[in-house]
Amino acid sequence: MNRINIQRVENLADIDTFIDEVKQPLVFLAGGTDLMVYCRRGDNPAPTWIDISFLKPLTEITDTGDTISIGALATPRQLHESALIQKYVPALAKAAGLIGSPLIRNRATIGGNLGNASPAGDTIPPLFVHRAKVNTHYKSQSKTLEINNLFAGPGQTVLRPGELITSIDVEKEPHIIGSFLKLGQRKSLQIAKVSIAVALILDHDIVKDIRIALGAVGPTVFRAYRTEALLQGKILHAKLLKKAQKEILKECNPIDDIRSTADYRREMVPILLERILQDEILHRFTNF
């Protein structure tokens, strides 16, 4: 019989105590929108769940001056509605509004989305393009990782058991614009078949410092560096876009899975690139 012990912690030090006392595999319980689903399915990830949902400081989104600091317990709803996130992490504000449904957005957390490490996780491509840094806590030690280094494979982070994501930092870039698109089965309650995030700075009509990340078309989310290099410092026009579409196709590595086929994903990646650059960036953020 599968036994699960849920232990609430009131502060980070309690977690360290538990890791030492409980010499068993453990996971962190935040909103429960992944764990409770696994549990119901009969897949128990660990016999001890550490309930971190009462750690209030982790729910805050703050402007530290140089960075926006996002607590790991911030919900998609908070992220979507936050003026700070809309201004400084626009791709994340957009993505957060597309997670699950309004009900799920009241319970899910950004830390959980990262910890679950699905290549289709909606907060992940935006954090890649905003060059986020992830802060963790483990046995009284804090560590910071670049978001690109957090994921080891589908469903896997590089974190040790008991290592908790506490916050995510994004450097404030004054003229940053960005967006996120997700392709799924329906308008809501959909896990991405393909997702794309873009962040860039526009100098008149010249693309500066463009970053593009793709989700659900590789073992982890990744940056399309070669496609970015093609667009860097250029004016976005139809011929250049066609070149970029060819290149981005070469950068992705989709598979057939429960949600979609590799063929369909390959068809849609270039189309999403066009949509996000035309509709989301050029039409929404500029006067073009």
Bridge partners (DSSP) listed for residue 203: 206
Residues 23-62 touching another protein, rule: CB under 8 A, are 29, 31-33, 36-37, 39-40, 44, 49, 51, 53
The dihedral sign for the CA sequence 256, 148, 273, 126: positive
Q: Which residues pair with 213 in a beta bridge?
A: 197, 223
53 vs 67 by CB, closer to another protein: 53
Footprint (CB under 8 A) of another protein, residues 155-194: 187-189
- We find the least distance from the C-beta atom of residue 187 to another protein, in angstroms, to be 7
User: Residue 103 interacts with another protein (CB under 8 A)?
Assistant: yes
Long-range contacts of the stretch 37-40 (C-beta < 8 A, 24+): 39/4
Single out the residue of 12, 59, 87, 100 in contact with another protein (rule: CB under 8 A).
100
User: In angstroms, rounded to a whole number, what is the distance separating the alpha carbons of residues 214 and 180?
Assistant: 10
Q: Which stretch binds another protein (CB under 8 A): 2-10, 138-146, 159-167, 278-286?
A: 2-10
Minimum CB separation of residue 146 from another protein in Å reads 31
Residues 230-269 that bind another protein (CB under 8 A): none
The kind and range of the H/E element at 266 are: helix 262-275
- Residue (77 or 130) nearer to another protein, CB: 77
CB of 44 to another protein, least distance (A): 6
Q: How far is the CB of 213 from another protein (least distance, A)?
A: 25
Q: Nearest distance from residue 262's CB to another protein, in Å? A: 26
For residues 131 and 146, give the distance between their C-alpha atoms in angstroms, rounded to a whole number. 7
d(CA 39, CA 152): 24
Closest distance of CB 240 from another protein, Å: 35
Give me the sign of the Cα torsion angle 102, 106, 107, 112.
positive
Q: Which of 1-9, 123-131, 208-216, 231-239 is the region at the interface with another protein (rule: CB under 8 A)?
A: 1-9
18: which residues sit within 8 A by CB, 6+ positions away?
Answer: 7, 9, 26, 48, 50, 162
| Nearer of residues 56 and 226 to another protein, judged by Cβ | 56
Nearest distance, CB of residue 285 and another protein, angstroms: 22
Q: At what angle do helices 262-275 and 238-251 cross, to 10 degrees?
A: 150
Measured from the CB atom, the residue of 4 and 201 that comes closer to another protein is 4
CB of 92 to another protein, least distance (A): 19
Which is nearer to another protein, 53 or 278 (by Cβ)? 53
Q: Among residues 82, 80, 155, 78, which one has the least CA distance to residue 114?
A: 155
First to last CA, the chain: 62
Residue type, 161: P
CB-CB contact of 135 with 166 (8 Å): yes
Residues making contact with another protein (CB under 8 A) = 1-6, 8, 29, 31-33, 36-37, 39-40, 44, 49, 51, 53, 77, 100-104, 106-107, 187-189
